[in-house]
Amino acid sequence: METEKIGKEEVLKVARLARLELSEGAIEEIAPQLGDILKYMEALENIDAKGVEPTFHTITKKDIVREDIAGVHLSKDKTLANAPEKDEEAQSFIVPRVI
């Protein structure tokens, strides 16, 4: 399978989707790079991976997690002392609504 040459329109479309503003020079530089990436992906399609277990990581690692031990912590008053907005009665932070 032969990859088409990546043109200015395709680069602009990808840039728009990624919310990037590109100069003309950047467009000219990126187009062949995107083409090379697609050629590489085509090469990967031709690899025989039958019998190969799917992996999530290329190296095996044990889960290195420290033991959860309660320690010294700030009081609620000290924690809220520098909060820009707080509810004193509920002893909680007031943050902007996120929708």
Compute mean pLDDT per 10 residues along the chain, 99 residues long, and list them. Answer: 75 94 94 92 89 80 80 88 88 89
> How far is C-alpha 48 from the chain's CA centre?
29
Domain ranges in the chain are: 8-45
- Residue 11 burial class via C-beta count within 10 angstroms: exposed 0-12, middle 13-18, buried 19 and up: buried
Distance CA 88, CA 90 (A): 6
How confident is the model at residue 67, as a pLDDT? Answer: 85
Please answer whether residues 10 and 34 qualify as being in contact, where contact means their C-beta atoms are separated by less than 8 angstroms: yes
Query: Is domain 8-45 classified as CATH 1.20.1550?
Result: no
- Is the whole model's pTM more than 0.85, yes or no? no
Can you tell me the distance from the alpha carbon of 36 to that of 69, in angstroms, rounded to the nearest whole number? 50
